[in-house]
Amino acid sequence: MRTYRLALIGFGNVAQGFVQILQQRAQQLRTQHQADIQIVAVTSPSKGSLYHPQGIDPAVLLNAIEITGNFSAITADYTDWDTQRIIRESNANVILELSPTNLKTAQPALSYIETALQTGKHVITANKGPTALYYPQLKQLAQDNQVTLGIEGTVMSGTPSLMLAQTLRSAGITRIQGILNGTTNYMLTRMEAGLSYNEALTEAQERGYAETDPTGDVEGHDAVAKVVILANLLMDASINPNDVQREGITQITTHDIQTAQQAGKRYKLIGTLERQAKGRIRASVQPEQMDITHPLASVSDATNAITYSTQLMGDITLVGSGAGRIETGYALLTDLLKMPDYSKSDI
């Protein structure tokens, strides 16, 4: 049996989805995967800080959030440790970094991840800020400290887009194109059904698809971050968000969508990466009117899709959930279960 002692940094939608999975599947995880997963610490700026070296019951955490919205009613050995102290000094061996995405500076997540890796803790994150802006440096830091860095949840939530594509690298990936943001795809689908832009955004927020600040979704920054992650991880590129041509969906109205529909078209926010001459990569995120018969046009709601075009295998398309608390929580679980044993070896 492997014992994973987790510290959760942040307790928003994704963290709660992950804890819900643990609550429901603890027994299955023990018998099928020989995984004893304990939550020893949780910290959130708005909900409080808990460190209990023997482990905190997932049901107690979820119950407290449902009833009071914070951790004040939970008994733990330590309730005043700050995040950096929890990362450095707790008995956690894996840090789940789940604080809100900041695509400008990547902070505070970046400093949390750096501290964790430097102090020999494995890190799993669904945070696109540090991953889009600093992945090569963080990966190196993880290697230097003989620990692992899991990022599966940053693109297509728990749909294994990165895991699959890692195996396609040797087929020569020449182009990547897809629907990479669940919030905007959900909104475009609902606007086609007649909802206004604001009504559709409110629904997407209620369903837990949108970022803490949904501007990142609707203006295309979230999809840009994913394009950058894909380029740097899978196409040996070294690009940053400023290298991606970007246009969001804020200018698209319900009327535009319905007019396109009458012409047999459907608006989709499409991210594209294309290998060009001399190793250059063209990268963009923009709304496109796709013909209704195009495979990406039929991808609706918060579903995402990526087509990997390769030299040896032609096109391979992956369609699946792109956002959501359980879906992204599941991504964290897949990263956790694929970590090597605690011999501190590389992934």
Positions that interact with ligand HSE (CB under 6 A): 157, 181-183, 209-211, 217, 222, 322-323
Closest CA to 308 of 221, 235, 226, 243: 235
Is residue 321 helix, strand or coil? strand
Is residue 146 helix, strand or coil? coil
Strand order in the sheet with 265-275: 245-246, 281-291, 265-275, 173-179, 303-310, 314-321
* CA dist 139 → 171, 282, 295 (Å): 23, 24, 34
Which lies closer to ligand HSE via its Cβ, residue 15 or residue 76? 15
Which lies closer to ligand HSE via its Cβ, residue 205 or residue 307? 205
Which lies closer to ligand HSE via its Cβ, residue 113 or residue 151? 151
Give residue 36's region: left, alpha or beta (phi > 0; psi -120 to 50): beta
To ligand HSE, the closest distance from the beta carbon of 322 in angstroms equals 5
To ligand HSE, the closest distance from the beta carbon of 310 in angstroms equals 24
Pairing of strands 35-44, 2-9: parallel
To ligand HSE, the closest distance from the beta carbon of 298 in angstroms equals 18
Q: Which two tokens stand for residue 260?
A: 């396109």
Pairing of strands 314-321, 173-179: unpaired
To ligand HSE, the closest distance from the beta carbon of 206 in angstroms equals 13
To ligand HSE, the closest distance from the beta carbon of 301 in angstroms equals 11
* CA dist 49 → 11, 86, 231 (Å): 10, 9, 36
To ligand HSE, the closest distance from the beta carbon of 35 in angstroms equals 25
To 10 degrees, what angle do helices 128-144 and 109-118 make?
Answer: 10
Which lies closer to ligand HSE via its Cβ, residue 210 or residue 234? 210
Residue 307 to residue 319: CA distance in whole angstroms = 9
Please identify every residue annotated as catalytic: 226
Q: Which two tokens stand for residue 232?
A: 């740097």
Which lies closer to ligand HSE via its Cβ, residue 41 or residue 188? 188
User: Residue 85 CA to chain centroid, in angstroms?
Assistant: 25
Residue 281 to residue 243: CA distance in whole angstroms = 9
